[in-house]
Amino acid sequence: MQDPELPFFSVIVPVYNKELHISRSIESVLNQSFSNFELIVVCDPSTDNSNAEVAKFTDPRIRVFYRDEPGPGGYAARNLGISEAKAKWIAFLDADDEWYSEHLMKMKEGINKYPDCMFFSCARIADFKNVRKRDAFSLSQKSNPVTITFLEYLQLCKSGRRPNNTNSVVINKRLMPSSIWFPESRCDRSGDLYLWVVLMSKAKEMVWLSHVGSISYRDIVGVSKSSVPSIDINKQMVAEVSEELTDCELQALRSYSNRLIRTAWLEVRRIGRFDSGRLYSHFFWTKKDFGFCCFWSFVSLLPSQVINLARSIKGAI
């Protein structure tokens, strides 16, 4: 049972050099129609006036923590927030994004309807230069809610229709022991994708709700977008959960990981890093993915101009 003295949600917002946007993010949390939450703001040492913007808020539901050094991707900041969270349910919001006012209320309704589920998500919008578009998964859905198994989740991710992102998830803290948090010391980018797979491998299913919960602003330059992606984290992800999976789940995970490895390798190559080894040596060479691995292994040996052309081919990336 929910302790009436504790907040129902702990909302975690990591902050680093977001002076122009953090007020919008915090206000979108404070303006939620469901008010039983705590807002944990974790400030890395910004070089702008982010901390001063945070300090302007005096709502008693806000708790602010300060770290001594910045952590790529906000992973260390989020992990500190998780460790300090008082609530049973954890939600995240990026400091340059925002929630719609009914988000937590709709999530609370979903939790009440599915009391045994520990992983929830919802629809979301991406904004790029004031052009807004719903995520691919929600555009394909006509029912609400939708229960998604781990195998289905992997298949959706592989097809580019991942049903969640950091701003949309609500997770039961029991699903997140200290050994399963954001990989703060292991990668600078895409550590959230790693964590969702690990958590889903434990939960075995998630519930997706059709309400649009958040807006992600894609034209804002952030630390995670300028950092070097990791190839190894995707291989480690498979190794860490493989013993708990069925044969079908493991095959699907390897196939999804191959897409993440391909994308990370191409990004490393694009920014001029050539020390990541041959792409073919990183792939999981499975029977069903043999054609994919062959194609991209061949492409990776070509000049950069040809690689960029291959990436632009519809369906190839």
Tens-level pLDDT at each residue, the chain (317 residues): 667 789 999 999 999 999 999 999 999 999 999 999 999 999 999 999 999 999 999 999 999 999 999 888 899 999 999 999 999 999 999 999 999 999 999 999 999 999 999 999 999 999 999 999 999 999 999 889 999 999 999 999 999 999 999 999 999 999 999 888 999 989 998 899 999 999 999 999 999 999 999 999 988 755 444 577 889 999 999 999 999 999 999 999 999 999 999 999 988 887 776 666 799 999 999 999 999 999 999 988 888 777 777 666 645 54
Cα 110-111-114 angle, rounded to 5 deg: 85
Report d(CA 136, CA 123) in Å as an integer.
9
pLDDT of residue 253: 98
Is residue 224 within a helix (H) or strand (E), and if so which, with residue range? helix 223-226
In contact, 150 and 201? CB cutoff 8 Å: yes
The token pair at 119 is 């992983």
Strand locations in the chain, DSSP E?
Answer: 9-15, 37-43, 62-66, 89-92, 98-99, 119-128, 131-134, 146-149, 170-172, 205-217
Tell me the three state secondary structure of residue 245: coil
Phi-psi region of 160 (alpha: psi -120 to 50; beta: other; left: phi over 0): left
Tell me how crowded residue 313 is: count the other CB atoms within 10 A of its CB: 9
Predicted structure pTM score: 0.93
Number of H helices, E strands in the chain: 12, 10
